[in-house]
Structure formats: C-alpha cells, structure tokens
Structure 1
Amino acid sequence: MNKVLIKTLITVTLGMGFVAGGTASGLAAENQVTETEGKNLYVIAFENELPKEYEEVIEKAGGQVVKALPEVGGIQAQSDDLAFLSNLKKVPSIEVANKEVPLALNQPATIPNLAETAAINEQGSLWDAQWDMQRVTNNGKSYEIETGGYVNDEGETVHKAVIGVIDTGIDPLHPDLQKNLLGGRNLVPAGMDATETGDPNDIVDRNGHGTHVSGIIAADGHVKGVGPDLGIRTYRVFYSEQALTLPSIIIDGIIAAANDKVDVINMSLRLYNTSKTIIEGETYKTTADTLLWKRAIQYALKNDVTVVGGSGNESLNLDDKNEVTDYLNTLYEPFGITLKGPTTVVPAQMPGVINVSASNKWSTQQLAFFSNYGNSAIDVAAPGGDYGAEYAETLDPATADITNLILSTWPTYLGLPYTYNAGTSMAAPQVAGIAGVIKAANPDLKPSQVSAIIKQTAIDYGKPGQDALYGSGEANAYRALMDVKK
C-alpha cells in the first residue's frame, strides 16, 4: 500500500488552563502585554442592567469606558486615577469592581528529542491514529446515525447544529476544517499586541490551540471530528503566540456566541473563583470578572446554548477546596494575589456547565495523570490523552509514548497540518461534539436535556455509578445518539 508519511508536531499541551499573570517559566503576562502597559484596566459589574448614564458614571469616577457588556450589566474601563476604585465604591448601582488581571494559557510541556510520524493511508486517512475518536464514535458507528449535517443537491454541506469555539482562533484555510467553518468573530481589542488592529474578522489562530480543539469537534479530512458535518463558529479571545487574554474578552465571547445562536459553546480554558480574593491589598468577596462570567453563562443557557468546559490540568481534587486554594496561592503569590476560602473552577463548576475530566487510552480505572477530578465536580470524562501507562507510573520522559495523545488539526502556517496534544482542553471538545450531534438529531432539546443524555449514556468506567474520576462515565456519541433516536 502506498503511504504518505507526515511528521507531526510534538507539542504536548498538558496545561491549557489559565494562570493569572504568567507561564511555567515565571514570566508575567503583564510583562508580555507590551502594548497595554500603563493602561490600568478594570472590570465593573453593576447590580442590575447598565444604567443609561453609565459612561458619565465612569467618567466622574476618573475613568473611561473601553467596552460595554449590556447583556450582563458590566463594563471594562480604563483609568490612571489612583482613586478610581475608591470612587466607584461610592456608586450605589455598582455591585463590585476590580482591576483586571491578564491571563495566559499555560505553555506546552514538551518531550525533547522525540520524533514520530503518522501515516496517511491510500484513502487519505489518519483514522488509525485517532484512538480517541474510534472510542467516542464506537469505531465510526455514530456517523451512520448523525454527523451534524448533510450534503444537499447542490453539493453544499448543510449544518444542522453549530458549535461556538471560544479559544485562540482557527486556521481558516485548513483543508480539514474549511467546509465546516461558518466564520466567527475576533473579540480582541486593537493594541493588545503589534498585530491586533481590532478587526472583528481576524479569527486567525496565532497559537494553534483553537485549531486543534476545532478539529476534535468537526474535522472532515485526513482526521475526523466527533461531528464531521457540524458547523463551527470561532470566537478568538486570545492574542499573541503566547495566548494571552483578559477576562472581559472571554465574557464578550460567550455573549457573542449566544447572540449568534450557536447550539453549543466549548471553552477549553478555565480560571478559579474563591470566596475571598485579595488583589494588591484590596479584598473582594467576589470579583467583578467572575460575577460577570457567571451572568454570561446564565445568559447562554437561557438562550438554549449548551456549555461545555474542561476541569483543568493540575491533578487537583476539586472536592478539596482547600487543596485547590493552597495550590493557587503558591502560583499567584508572585503577582500580589492571595486567595482565601473554598475555590471552584470557572466555568466548568458553574451551574449548567458540563464539566469534563480527561480519560486516557490505556485504562478504564485511571484518568490522565494531569486531570483534575472530584466526585461532586466532574460530570463526565472524555479522551484527553497522556503519555501512556509506563510514563504515568514513572514520570520518566524516556518512557513517553505519544501515540497515547490526541491527534488533531494544527495551523498549516505554524508547521505541519496535524499535531498530538493532551489535556482537558482535548477532552472538552469531545463532549461539545457529542452535544452538537445530539442537537442535530433533535434540535428541540434544551441544554439540561442534552447534558442529561450525555451523562445517562456515558460508559461507566471507574467505580460503579458516579465517581470522582469519571463522573457518570466516559461520554460516548454512539450511545447518546442511540438514546436520542429511540
């Protein structure tokens, strides 16, 4: 058989969650946002809807409105006035306001001197390397029931459901994604770095993460997604190759996706919320960005959008709120942030969001070594990949087997068109794809019903019944669609 060998990027993304301010190397995100240094940005949540005179309110306090978020009663503002926050506290209609902390996707963990190839067979397929997709679709049997769309008489794909991917963007010309890409929006304001002009149509992925996630959902080419005919709408909320952002940009992305009437939102990202946050000596019972994020999730759910999030990649027991808080304090201390009290993952642990842990190729009793877990936290698991059983036991890079990772699309202009990655970032889109094909099969289902079907039809790995690792089990598209079609 004539085979074409394609070398794949070995960018193993084990940490695609958020850290406030920086990366594993200790380089602060504030130092990377060169174009916004000195522009003190704030998030402000009003108690109810935005008052008509909100711009005047902010100006009187010593600031300027940068972005209004009327759907959730919030704004982003800029001020160089040291008394700005104090002035805002005097406004009765404002519930909470705080300085906005830049966020970054964790940087990829890599195994040096590791090389691998993936073979495209003569039919042009990398299916043999997609163990995750084989498992989630029951070796492709779910495609026989629902792919997320169909080809009409004119040869055009009609998308029966659309997934909003809030991430780093997409390679809009990737051959495996092009036919399912319905556009999207760039929510990154002008000036965040030298390349950002504020063009709402600039959805080009600078990092690769969003392209990889999109392929897991709806690729149709050398690799296949869970729903190879699902529509994708991209909401780019990260800028630069380092994938930096601000909370208000993500909130804007959630609102935009809901307003565009997508069926499902995937967020392979997260931050943490605690009962008490101390930023530069100021104490907050809740921060404005977390409050507005909660409102944005509720806004999406009320608009019949199913929301999926990853549980995070720190190997934390999310049931042990103090363990999570202690971990974060170690991480955030260099940036002048202290957390106190119980901590939860945002958005994954918010009401109505499907919280996904990462399963692996080699075990039905253990999660991927990096995945967060918790009996009261996890709804379902899905393949997120890892380095294999021997690596999980020894943590010796020499034992790493990358065929245990998740193969998906990658921006062609960043190297080669496919890469192996791992993380709850890869697990969440598996579930988002399942939610998408469920909606394609039955458009009338509400988010709570979609969530219930995914949980009820999950394969019960781990301890019998609900457990801390898998929740209800590993999500499965074939079983879910069989249930919908009854």
Structure 2
Amino acid sequence: MKKRKKGMAIAASSILALSLSSFNLHTSATSPSKSYLIAYNLSSLPKTYQTDIKNAGGLVLNAIPEIGGLEVRSSNPNFLNNLKSNSSIIAANVEMHYKLDDEQPAAADGKSVTLDPDQDGTYWNSQWDIRHLTNEGKSFKIESGGTEANGKVTHKAVVGVIDTGIDSNHPDLKANYVGGQSFVPAGGYSGNDKTETGNPKDVLDREGHGTHVAGSIAGNGKIKGVGPDLGIMAYRIFDSSGSAPTTPIVKAMIQAAKDKVDVVNMSIGGYDNLKYEYNGTNYSDIADVLLWKRAVKYAVNNNVTIVASAGNESLNYADKKSLTDYLNANYGDTNLVFKGVTIETPGGVPGVITVSSSNKWSKDQLAFYSNYGNSFITVAAPGGDNGPKYASTGNLDDRDFTYRALSTWPTYLEPYFTTIDPEHPGYAYLHGTSMASPKVAGIAGVIKAAHPDLKPAQVEALIEKTSLDYGKPGHDQYYGAGEANAFTALTGK
C-alpha cells in the first residue's frame, strides 16, 4: 500500500497503492545470515550451481532456472567476494526485501463513507472510473472478456494478479476466479508466522489490496470491472506482515507465464539503486534488476502482457538525480548512502506498460501522488484522489472520498475506513496508482479476448493508439500516450 517513510502529504492522505520499499531491511546487513540474489551470465543455470554456491560458503534456497537466478543464504561475511572468481556469475547482491506498509489512517481519515446502493441494488452510479472507461458500460456489449450461459462463465482471457491474494469467495469475484498460487513459505518471510503453512493454495487476501485490484479488473456484481467476464488468477507474494523479497515476485511472473495467463497486473513498485554504500562497504542491486528484466522478458516471450503501477511518490522518473536524492532523503543515513542510478522496478523495466494515475475532475492534472516522467509513463488510468477542493487547498478536511476508486474488499476483513456499508462489508474506496494499473490490465484483457492472436507489443500499441489525449497534445510526461480507455480500444475510435 504506502511506501514506507514517504512524503508527509502522501502519508497523511493514506494512499492505498501498493508501493514496495527495497530498503527496509538494509539495516539487517550486520546479521549473521543474509539472503542474496545471484544471476548467472546466461538465462539458465549451469549443472555446477549447487557446488558453486557451496564452495563460496552459501546454501541455495531457491533456484530459478528459467532466468538463470538463485536465492542463496550465507553467514559467510566473504560470500560475495568468494563469488568473484566464478566467471559464470554476472551479478550478485544482498537480496532486496520489499515492505508493504499497512499504515493506519490518520485521525482525520477516520470518517467512514456512507453510500446507498442504486435502485437495482448495485453501486454502478458511484463507479465514475469504470463508467468513464467503458462509455457507460457500452464496451461490455462489445467484449466483456468471456461469455455467460446457464449461470456459468467461459473466460476468453485471464488476468493474473500478483499481489496480496484475492477473496475468491467474494460474491462479485467468485464466478471469475479460476485459481492461483501462494509463494509465501511456511512461517512467512520472518519464519515466525504460524498462520503461514507454506500451502501453495493459500491465496487468502490478508490485506485487502489484491481483492480491490481484482474487482477493478473483473468484478461482476454490485460493482463492475473493466471486463466483467474476464478470468482472474491470484499469485500471492505477501505474507500477513506485508513483506516479500524479490524471489517470490519473479517466480510468480514465471508461473503466470506457465499458466498461460494473457495479462499480469503488478500494482507494486520499488527502487533499486545500482551503487550504494552501507557501513563503508559498497553494494549494488544489479542482480535484482537483471532478474527483474529477465522475468519480464520471459513473460513477454510467452505472450503475457505486463502492466504495472508507476508509484505514489510524486517523483519525475526522468530526473535521475532527484530519484537518488529522494532515496537518500527518505532512506539514507550516515551509514547508508545511495550513489548510483536509481531504477524503479517493475515499472522502469523494458516491456512493461507503466501506468500513472488520473482523476475524475481534470484532464490536465494527474492525481497529486502519481509518479510521472517522459519515457517512463506508457498511459494513465483513473486511480482517483481526494477531489478538486482538496487539490486546491491541501486541507485534509476538504477531502471527498467518493473521488477515489470503488471496488471489492474482502468480506472477512475488518471494514476499511472507506468501507461504504460497514454492516455489509465487501466494498471500499481506495486511491493510488495501484487502482490505475488494474484498469489498464483489464483493458489489455478485453483486447486479448477480442483479438487473441495479438502479441504483447501489439496490445500495448493498441492501448496507446486509442487512449484519450489528455494533458499536452501528443505524448507527455504525465499521461504518456493519454488516458487508456476500454471503449475506444475495442472500437478503434
């Protein structure tokens, strides 16, 4: 949800768009045992990889043969130096750990939203974002992502959701849920979470984020997604603490490709710095970035369209110095200094459709929290914000939560502070680039349903070509090619 230690304005407004901080566990660098990422110089593993790691003083935890990667544990302080003599290893670094900061809302956020359903029992009139994207639902008649007959849905395309899991029994999602997998080990990533058994079928959403994302893609009930008949698959990478290292994320991408999903949504993002100093020792995230790139390439080569959120730090990604300055200001200290080029993963990886967040009330201004940047943003999509009055004053009391995005929320979780009917939980307003990205993933899904032979690059090109030209004429740093739209993508106009 929120990137940890982000700017005060964003933290105070409780942006719920999953941002992952790569730096929360750097301070554990002095612990006796560390996890590392290893990338071999080919996108495959040699037969000797177990011996290579053992001789260097490490133990292989996970092998990722599809992209030539390893996750390794070692307590040997010379482990990285011991690998330098191995010419088949191209990169190695301390594994980046990502953190989901499920921060509680500030006191001013504690006002719940009261919303009566429409006369037909739905919340369609409150879904300003989906109504806009689908031209008041007209795109559903062109392509909904599948066909319905005798109460059953035949899915013509499937979207994988790499996230916190999905409430697969939610009444608006269960008809479109087609399976999934958890990558969380027994005990969770801390090893101490007794609720985590390592069951690969456990995709229970413990945070709510993945369920909200899934509803924007394929909700079909009181709320509607972009493709109400699209299939959805859950790939759970976060445990109940909200943390995850790099390995399960890239493994989930590879598994989604093997499952032959058509689209993957990753409402996640973090920053890798290619050169930083910790306690006088130089480190880099080169192995992390390399394995991210290989995982994206693997998925795209297997005909999977990858969509990711741009992030919520209001940063200009094209200004590389400002990114590194941001890391030092928010995560650095006297012992940790970032010096190199900063790369946002996965949004900054080639082959990814990267989505900024637009809003309900402006065709010129992005949502206040959204990252942006030339050659970074592909398109924008409605992620919502606090409305025009708040944008003008910055006063927390001026926020209007109905300008956020309404979608599904796990029925078994405590109501979120923007839950619209606490007595009948299951729906909530959230905002952030995490709410923008699944709209584009849903558009990609209905495009694949209508045109199954299109390759990822062709899907991306069609989304860009048919986007609404908001902001400055032509391609710009805020909207990219424009605001993506399902109706125009399906009609070609």
Structures share a fold, TM > 0.5?
yes
8 Å Cα contact 2:122/2:223 also seen in 1 = yes
Say if 2:332 and 2:338, in contact at 8 Å, map to a contact too.
no
Task: Trace 1:56-455 onto structure 2 (pairs within 5 A).
Answer: 56-108=51-103, 110=105, 111-152=108-149, 154-192=150-188, 193-240=193-240, 242-284=241-283, 286-334=285-333, 337-415=336-414, 416-455=425-464
Confirm or deny that 1:50 pairs with 2:49.
no
State the one-letter code of the partner of 2:426.
Answer: P
Instruction: Report the CA distance shift for 1:280/1:168 in structure 2 as closer, same or farther (over 3 A).
Output: farther
CA distance in 2, matches of 1:14, 1:234: 19
Contact 2:53 2:60 in 1 (8 A): yes
Letter of the 2:178 partner, please give it: L
Give the conservation status (yes or no) of the 8 Å contact 1:359–1:474.
yes
Per the alignment, residue 20 of structure 2 pairs with 18
Q: Distance in 2 between matches of 1:274 and 1:63?
A: 24
CA distance in 2, matches of 1:234, 1:51: 31
DSSP-derived class of the 1:318 partner = coil
Name the SS for the 2:275 alignment partner: strand
Match of 2:303, as an amino acid? D
Kindly provide the CA deviation profile for residues 20-71 of structure 1, in whole angstroms up to 9, marking residues without a partner as x: 344xxxxx6988xxxxx86521111111121112112111111111111000
CA distances 1:327-374 after superposition (whole Å, capped 9, x unpaired): 012222159543223323211121111110000111111000000111
Q: Cα 1:11–1:210, aligned 2, differ >3 Å: closer, same or farther?
A: farther
Tell me, in whole angstroms, the C-alpha distance in 2 between the residues paired with 1:79 and 1:232: 38
Q: Which amino acid aligns with 2:152?
A: E
Give the SS at the match of 1:179.
Answer: coil
Q: Which residue identity does 1:472 align to in structure 2?
A: A
CA contact (8 A) 2:164 2:207 kept: yes
Q: Equivalents in 2 of 1:446, 1:335: separation in Å?
A: 48
The structural deviation recorded for 1:278 is 3.4
In the TM superposition, what is the alpha-carbon distance from 1:84 to its structure 2 partner? 1.6
| Contiguous gaps of at least 5 residues in structure 1 | 1-9, 23-27, 32-36
Sort the Cα spacing of 1:11 and 1:374 in 2 relative to 1 into closer, same or farther, 3 A: closer
**One-letter amino acid of the counterpart of residue 17, structure 1:** S
* Deviations, residues 392-419 of structure 1 (Å, cap 9, x unaligned): 1222110000010011111111122111
TM-superposed CA distance for 1:247, in Å, is: 0.8
Superposition RMSD on alpha carbons, in Å? 2.0
State the one-letter code of the partner of 2:276. T
Partner of residue 477, structure 1: 486
Residue 18 (structure 1) shift: 1.3
| Offset of residue 257 of structure 1 | 0.7
Given that 1:266 and 1:429 are in contact with CA atoms closer than 8 Å, whether structure 2 keeps it comes out as yes
User: 1:199 is paired with a residue of what secondary structure?
Assistant: coil
**What SS does structure 1 have at the residue aligned with 2:341?**
strand
Cα distance in 1 for residues equivalent to 2:13 and 2:259: 32
8 A Cα contact 2:33 2:76, kept in partner: no
Q: In the aligned structure 1, how far is the partner of 2:27 from the partner of 2:133?
A: 40
Q: TM-score, normalised by structure 1?
A: 0.91
Whole-Å separation in 1 of the counterparts to 2:201 and 2:454: 31
Residues in 2 aligned to 1:30 and 1:428: alpha-carbon distance in whole angstroms: 31
Stretch of structure 1 that moved more, 276-285 or 91-100: 276-285
Deviation at residue 286 of structure 1 after TM alignment: 4.6
Q: How far apart are residue 294 of structure 1 and its match?
A: 0.7
Question: What secondary structure sits across from 1:362 in the alignment?
Answer: coil
Q: C-alpha displacement at 1:208, in angstroms?
A: 0.7
Q: Residues 360 and 318 (structure 1 numbering): CA distance in 2 closer, same or farther, change over 3 Å?
A: same
The CA distance in 2 between the partners of 1:271 and 1:393, in whole Å, is 29
Distance 1:208 1:237 in 2: 13
Decide whether the 8 Å contact of 2:307 with 2:441 is kept in 1: yes
Please tell me the residue identity of whatever aligns with 1:113: G
**CA-to-partner distance for each residue in 1:289-342, whole Å, 9 max, x for gaps?**
211011000000100100001111000111111111110122221595432233
CA distance in 1, matches of 2:297, 2:362: 35
- Aligned match of 1:41: 35
Q: Deviations over 1:226-260 (max 9, x none)?
A: 001000011001111x4111011111111111111
Decide which moves more: 337-346 or 244-253: 337-346
Equivalent AA in structure 1 for residue 175 of structure 2: K
